[in-house]
Chains A and B, each alone.
Chain A
Amino acid sequence: MSLISAANVTKDYLAGDVTVSALKGLSFEIAPASFVSFVGPSGSGKTTLLNLIGCLDKPSDGKLTVADTNVLNLDRKQSASFRGNNIGFIFQDFNLLPVLTVYENIEYPLLMVQSAPASERKKRVTALLEAVGMIDQKGKYPDQISGGQKQRVAVARALVTNPKLVLADEPTANLDHKTAYMVIDLMKKMRDEFGTTFIFSTHDQKIVGEAEVIFTLEDGNLLDRHVEGGKRNG
């Protein structure tokens, strides 16, 4: 059974008076615990597709099911609740909250989204801090740590709610190669440990090779679905 199922998904935007088709009838399926990459040049529709899967936006047409939920049927509040319980996000610019410490940033979704009890929060945040190697930095604020460390915190934050799916839009774009591989390795490790599906978009051909399933997009069309073993690991 697939975690994500897209059937003829389209997305049209109005740019002034002109309608732009960002996605043109995409159909695909993604299995649970996959490590998937969407690749393609700028404007190919990667981010748009991630936004649709992440319930940040709605398809103009077609059917998109994520974790057995038709995302078209969700209203604004239901979308937020669905995201909070099922999806983790990793952003290109890390998007950590500057007024919260590393610990508090990771704790935030448990506290403000899931209202988890304090003991559970402490257990899960500490486990993830250790898993991403940031336990020594837990009291620091985002402006006191490096870009790679920020992205590790972002990975931990994305995983803290035990989501079925983590979406990462260009997660390594602002990192050097060494750090980028570290982050990708961390994401894989987390996938192996927690069984979470990771979907990321990237331009970087070396990073693309780390994915086990690669979807290639161009001009809003799905050109190719390629199954890799994960180059370095395979």
Chain B
Amino acid sequence: MGNLFKIAIRNLLRYKRRTLLTASLITVGVVFVLVFISVSGSFKNMMIGQITDSMLGHLQVHRKGYVASIDNLPLNLNLKAGAIARLEAILDKQSEIEAYSPRIKFGGMFSNFVETTNIRLVAVYPDREFRTVPLLPLRITSGGKTLNRGEILIPDLLAKGMKVKIGDAVVVVATNQDGSVNGKQFKVAGIVEGITGPGGRDGYIHIEDATELLRMEKMEVSEIAIRLKDFNKLNPFNQKLEGLLSKELNQQDKPIFELHTWEKLTPFYNIARMIDVMTFFIKLMLIAIVLISIMNVMIMAVYERIREIGTIAAIGTLPGRILNMFVIEGFCLGIVGAVIGDIVGIVVVLVVNMLKITFNFGQQKGLLLQANIDPMDILVISVTVIIVSVLASLQPAFKASRMEPIKALRHV
């Protein structure tokens, strides 16, 4: 086998310029794919991180049927105290959970005593919420990074529009489940930067203020947001928790809870999917580049060496060995292109990171692009290039191995 490699490498070096061009083409393809995957991957991860860590959490548990009506924020579909206790008993036993945060979500009217407008509010236990969505404090651009009873965090666009400042008194009026209206005065404790997506422009109040405002006799919550210790274990944990929650039935023997990952709760999942689809097509392009360039060069190699093929076939080289000779040439080209492409790709990504490129995502400005290359991506791309190189060599190699020596020897 070593001798076949020696002959293959010498044959490749025989046409240095052509070999260099083909290897360069593969290298450029590998670099392009690696850089695209790392940049788009980091953008995707950042986007998911922003959405889950500053608003959604990794998973959310609702009362069955809530998500179908989530735009109305229906108070009559809140989880009742008994259900909350059962759910918390389950969640407390899960070692994968970093934190979880009960929330009451409702709509109301917001007044600064001069103007009134509508507002969507999320009522939380601040400490638990900040542990579940740790980027939330960073969204509080003015005021303290906390939320006490009687205080409200209002979205920045609302603050601008209503000309409300920190320390101002405001009133929130809301309708409770029974249809009666109640109001409560709050002090503006902070301005929350809006983020793109559903719930990105909600205000925050303390959960006990919400129970008071909504005249709840017992604690009810709209949802419980969950943060995992390891985001990569989201899917297995989702399955596990779904299994546990499906056993929790109401008096009609129907499930009480419904569980959703972040993917089901935001349209940005579709953007993440689109990035995956784009990555897939970029990989397809790489495969096409490798396939066509290797096939082209190997077809040329076979055509130029017909007499040599005739000679080695005449002196008794078996067809399988002739096939191997040409396949190994393609394999070597693939390896060279993949290895150089990997090295150059890593260097390009390092340079991209050194340039500290920033970009905007929705309302968020100046997010730093931190491209990372997953070693698994390098492995998958390299193996793909090598396999495609071998496949592309097969047809010309097969043609060479099937050549009649007598015809090949006559070739001029």
Q: Judge whether B315 and A88 touch: CB under 8 Å.
A: yes
Q: Judge whether B311 and A99 touch: CB under 8 Å.
A: no
Q: Judge whether A97 and B311 touch: CB under 8 Å.
A: yes
Given contacts A97-B311, A99-B11, contact A80 B316 (CB under 8 A): yes
Q: Judge whether B14 and A98 touch: CB under 8 Å.
A: yes
A109 within 8 A of B: yes
Question: Residue on A with the closest CB to B10?
Answer: A99
Instruction: Give chain B residues whose Cβ lies under 8 Å from the Cβ of A77.
Output: 318-319
Q: Judge whether A111 and B312 touch: CB under 8 Å.
A: no
Q: Judge whether B317 and A99 touch: CB under 8 Å.
A: no
Question: Residue on A with the closest CB to B405?
Answer: A56
A163 to chain B, nearest CB (A): 9
Q: Identify which of B11, B307, B314 contacts A83 (C-beta below 8 A).
A: B314
Question: Residue on A with the closest CB to B321?
Answer: A112
Q: Judge whether A97 and B315 touch: CB under 8 Å.
A: no
B175 to chain A, nearest CB (A): 87
Instruction: Give chain A residues whose Cβ lies under 8 Å from the Cβ of B10.
Output: 99-100
Given contacts A57-B406, A77-B319, A80-B319, contact A99 B7 (CB under 8 A): yes
Given contacts A98-B14, A99-B10, contact A56 B316 (CB under 8 A): no
B313 within 8 A of A: yes
What 0/1 readout, one digit per residue, does chain B (1-45) give for beta carbons within 8 Å of chain A?
A: 001000100110010000000000000000000000000000000
A89 within 8 A of B: yes
27 sample A-B contacts, Cβ–Cβ < 8 Å, listed by A number:
A56-B406, A77-B318, A77-B319, A80-B313, A81-B316, A81-B318, A83-B315, A83-B316, A84-B315, A85-B316, A89-B315, A91-B409, A93-B307, A95-B307, A95-B308, A95-B310, A95-B311, A95-B409, A97-B311, A99-B7, A100-B10, A108-B315, A109-B316, A112-B3, A112-B312, A112-B317, A161-B316
Q: Which B residues have a C-beta under 8 Å from some C-beta of A?
A: 3, 7, 10-11, 14, 307-308, 310-319, 321, 405-406, 409
Q: Which A residues have a C-beta under 8 Å from some C-beta of B?
A: 51, 54, 56-57, 76-77, 80-85, 87-89, 91, 93, 95, 97-100, 108-109, 111-113, 157-158, 161
